[in-house]
Structure 1
């Protein structure tokens, strides 16, 4: 069963990261009129590439920033806790495709609905987040109390 390593559990950096993500999403919406949903941004780039139309440069800059931010964090802080479980490249590929399919099916990812959809009062995002959290709560209950 999955166990939390309480020596690695650090709520304050997580809270700080959440505040920064929320602030960035708000600034992007208020100043640029853009929604900071990674799956929508990546999907827009993919669509433009398939259709052969010019892509919007801000999308590529955003995705590059996400990638460089991760690399920079690892460079400053060392490997991400829990990310040391090696997997064959086929596993990563299948996992990425499954996540991509799910985000397309759900019209966005869990964090996108929560961070960008609910503040816009999107009923679809509210329903999606309620479903995600409800499913997670049910899963935890079943795995910890029934199985």
Structure 2
């Protein structure tokens, strides 16, 4: 499985399986922003949240090492770093305003046939495409 699509497919299957198992075994939704927010706000059920997030980070780390993609990241300018931090902050605010993130709405909500999640996912995708197109045009790519 050295093809890019195969790795993407395998990752998608693993994410879907993890979301299904979390829901089937505990009745919880695998929305990453909600899981992380619960840790930050002092939720009493911290153990499963830590294990779930640790599995995400650990799985990505193992995949990067096993595929040779764990190369040293390129240097990032201060301006780019600040803009990335600002974008991350805006995404965090958006997940609170939208009552969930792409994983909660796109993976779990759509699987539950939630109309609210369908609307949120369409909005995420449309605005993501619009933003990517605008950045490409501004950068002259």
Q: TM-score range by the shorter chain?
A: 0.7 to 0.9
How far is 1:102 from its partner? Answer: 1.7
Q: Distance in 2 between matches of 1:141 and 1:42?
A: 30
Query: Which among 97, 102, 105 is matched to residue 89 of structure 2?
Result: 97
Q: Residues 55 and 29 from structure 1, CA distance in 2 versus in 1: closer, same or farther, beyond 3 angstroms?
A: closer
8 Å CA contact 2:33–2:101 kept in 1: the answer is yes
TM-score by length of 1: 0.72
Kindly state the Cα deviation for residue 57 of structure 1 after the two structures are TM-superposed.
Answer: 0.9
Q: Which runs of 5 or more structure 2 residues have no equivalent in the other structure?
A: none
Maintained 8 Å contact 2:64/2:70: yes
Per-residue CA distance 1:89-108 (angstroms, 9 max, x = gap): 54443333222112112212
Query: Who is 1:132 aligned against?
Result: 124
Matched, 1:69 2:59: yes
Q: Does 1:26 align with 2:20?
A: yes
1:10 equivalent in structure 2: 4
2:107 to 107, 110, 115: 115
Q: Whole-Å Cα distance in 2 between the matches of residues 92 and 134 of structure 1? A: 20
**1:42: Cα distance to partner?**
0.3
Q: How many residues align?
A: 133
Written as runs of structure 1 = structure 2, the 5 A alignment for 1:40-51 is 40-48=34-42
